[in-house]
Structure 1
Amino acid sequence: MRSEEDLVATMRTAAERAGPRELASGVAWRRRARRTRRRVGAALAAAAVVIVAGGTATVLRGQERQVPPAVLSPVARVWPQAVVKVPVKDADGRQTLPVNGMNATEVLLFAKGAKGKVDRLEVFDSATGRTRVLGDVPSRRPQRFELGTKYIAWFEEAGFWIMPRQGGEARRLGPLTGEVEKIGLTDDSLVWSVVDGGVYRMPLAGGAAERLPGTDGLHLMSWPWANAWAGDNMSRIVNLETGRSSDVALPENVEMMQCHAQWCTGLQAGSHLIVQRVDGAERRTLPDTLLRDGFWWLLGDRYALFRSREGSPFVVYDLPTGTMTGVGEVTPTLLTSSPTSTIFWDADAEYYQDCADRVCVTKSRGGGKEHTVVNLKAVTG
């Protein structure tokens, strides 16, 4: 069996070689979906849980360059209620990985059995310091987990699955319709979008899938929100419950614009990162310490994760307020459907860059006892 360090290294390599443009948007696969899936699909299936993006590949000579230690104090000072320590192994010796915040104190975990397969879901409660089992995951290659008010859902090649949010037996809903990219949950239905655009619905009680009218070209963000794209920019935000649609105000020479329901971030003129409301209001340029050629990712319902050139390896940025906090060498999960509200890293690990053929890949050694987790649900509820 491969060690956790080997797994992380493999996932990090796959992510870095995919390139920043392909990994920048955590809210849609769009035209890049098939290409990205072919490139990292096999590795994702083997891991069944995460893809690690430790930063952009760096070109330099030599075999190894040390990465500065993570600066943990800023996030602990700014949002102390959000920072918790989660054991890397549960009481049964299964390896765990944080997936998403369920509420202000609970974090959903993947738990991997002896063969490295995700075989059950667990919840760590920071209020009690304890982990409880939700239930077994019978599917072979679970993907794109989503949290609803009543259920947790995911899908695999054979179809969709749901499990009660409070725990219980998983139940298969039905076969996939189209090439599924993201899923969502209402109180009574599973919804999903497909790579070529279009949103579908299937009753949780069972029944046939139906395509939602007026959703041609739309891609699910986080229910009830969907988006449309123009090239590499998100261009329109749609509320699928109300039908209300808002065009994204795209400034000149912007690329890779990605949005929450109200806030967006993108790269302008290839030289600086910007933040704005969907309608273009309150536009501002972000500090040069945030790498424009690096990595950014939407988190929760109002945050973004940026690669940093100074201090902490990564920065969590609150788009509405401009609050910026330093975090460690984060391991973003790519298999949540809505933007995850949880980020984590191993504070005890030493990170370095292993270089070959003029390409350097971030790896780690040591650590392996606990995850340092930031649960953004504890900040905004």
Structure 2
Amino acid sequence: MSTDLEDDLSRVLGRAAEGAPQAPTGFPGRIAARSRRRRTRTQALVAAIAMVIVGVTVRGTVGAQVAQTKLPEPVETVWPDAVWKIPRQLPGLPDFHPAIFIDSRTLLLETSKSDERADAVYAYDLGSGRTRKIADIPSAKWEYAFAYTVGEGRIVWQTIDKNDHTRFWSVPVSGGKPAAIDTGGPVKGRGEELTVVGDRVAFSLVEGGVFTFPLRGGRVTPVAGAERHHILRWPWVGTPSDDTQDREPSFRELLNAETGQASRAVVRPGESYVRCGVTTCVGLRPDGTRFYRLRDGSRERDLPGSPVLGLGDDRFMAVDPPGPAAGQALLDLATGKQGDLGLRPSAEGRMSGVEPGILHGGLVSYQLKDQYVIIDLARIR
């Protein structure tokens, strides 16, 4: 990407971001998240993760337009203030996964029981490496916890049972005994996205529909005009969701749940796998080339390399750098910078790849040998 292009797109995204919603107080950073391939624990459960790990077969790269013949610098070198590496096994926590950022320096870790139900949550200090238990996670058999979020000094999550009933829970960030949030009974439907907005909780359902209720408990209220919608980045909700069918564009229709403002992304004939965020979209043209542009169709640019389509924080993608070197890099569309993720193919030619999505809270995490690589997209400038 040329310097002019980098500066141009950076200015455009900056202006677009000014009109985008700000994260609610206490909610960590920008929202980036998952792709349509979600981490599931049962068929009834859709459990969002910040970075999806998928097995792919590495193929040779056609070199007709290859100028780069090696991988970029490692992500920790390109963005040293936004990347950490932590052990995959911690004292007393042989098996865990990073869930969300509690704050800019603290991770929420979740451990699981043998049947994949959540067992407990811990706070991990990225500076000192210290771990502190927050709470055990209560759940009945066939009831699974997921979609952790933070706000108003509390960690909030939801559980779903085998009958597709969703309940909500919270515990102080400082720790304690979790309490069910009284919403007058469980919600019928499969809970999906969850966020704290001031003194209320907003959530959406896999089946469609956006709702809110008081953080301290109270009646569940549907958001007017959002009967088919899903939370993208509050107050923006949209349809279809990121789990689209038949190559349908994701989040083509957006609605501001607070003001009623609407947005419809431009999708041209023959385009496929179009994934849209609050300000930008990526996708495939009919000829197989890849693009990114603003939602109104302007500022369209070609995507370099062979990206795995996913759009984190309206500006980040995982791409296969051109040239003979096999691997994967994180690309910042706003600046053109790339960082090598460190993943390499096995002797059989298979490699675990990562795909940043559009929905989760600033956290990118993946396993690399005996470590977790942790990236905070909100800290990349």
User: Is TM > 0.5 for Structure 1 vs Structure 2?
Assistant: yes
Give CA deviations for 1:131-167 in whole Å, capped at 9, x if unaligned.
Answer: 2222222134112223335333222225122233343
C-alpha displacement of 1:271: 0.8
Amino acid at match of 2:176: G
**Where does the alignment leave 5 or more consecutive residues of structure 2 unmatched?**
1-31, 61-69, 162-166, 344-351
Aligned-pair identity in percent equals: 24
Corresponding residue number in structure 2 for 1:376: 377
In the alignment, is the contact (CA less than 8 A) between 2:48 and 2:147 conserved in 1? no
Partner of 1:80: 80
> Could you tell me how far apart the structure 2 residues matched to 1:53 and 1:96 are?
15
Answer yes or no: is the 8 Å Cα contact 1:103–1:377 preserved in 2: no
Higher mean C-alpha deviation, range 91-100 or range 278-287? 91-100
Partner of 2:120: 120
Alignment of 1:220-299 (within 5 A): 220-229=231-240, 232-233=248-249, 234-269=251-286, 271-287=288-304, 289-291=305-307, 295-299=308-312
Q: Secondary structure at the match of 2:76?
A: helix
The alpha carbon displacement at 1:117 in A equals: 4.4
Specify the code of the residue in structure 1 equivalent to 2:248.
D
The residue aligned with 2:169 is: 161
Counterpart of 1:202 in structure 2 is 213
CA distance in 2 between counterparts of 1:239 and 1:225 reads 5
1:42-61 C-alpha deviation (Å, 9 max, x unpaired): 3897x99899533445799x
Paired position in structure 2 for 1:324:
338
Report if the CA contact (8 A) 2:311-2:358 is conserved. no
2:349 corresponding residue in structure 1: none
Provide the residue aligned with 2:99 in structure 1.
Answer: 99
Moved more, 200-209 or 187-196: 187-196
Find 1:339's aligned residue among 348, 355, 360: 360
After superposition, the C-alpha distances for 1:315-360 in whole angstroms (9 at most, x for unaligned) are: 22223333322213467699x993242223343x3xxxxxxxxxxx
Q: What SS class does the counterpart of residue 380 from structure 2 fall into? A: helix
Secondary structure of the structure 2 residue equivalent to 1:81? coil
Name whichever structure is richer in helix by fraction: 1
Matches of 2:48 and 2:314 in 1, distance apart?
25
Deviations 1:191-220 (A, max 9, x none): 222233221112112112121111122111
SS for the counterpart of 2:74 is helix
Q: CA deviation at 1:27?
A: 5.9
Q: 1:88 to 1:181 in 2, by over 3 A?
A: same
SS of the residue corresponding to residue 243 of structure 1 reads coil
Question: What letter matches 1:282 in structure 2?
Answer: R
**Contact 1:253/1:268 (8 A) holds in 2:** yes
Matching residue's letter, 1:197: G
Shift of 1:257: 1.7
- Whether contact under 8 Å (1:112, 1:120) holds in the other structure is yes
Match of 1:269, SS?
coil
Task: Supply the distance in 2 between the matched residues of 1:180 and 1:76 (Cα, whole angstroms).
Answer: 35
The equivalent of 2:151 in structure 1 is: 148
Q: What residue ranges of structure 1 are gaps of 5+ in the alignment?
A: 1-24, 30-35, 61-69, 350-367
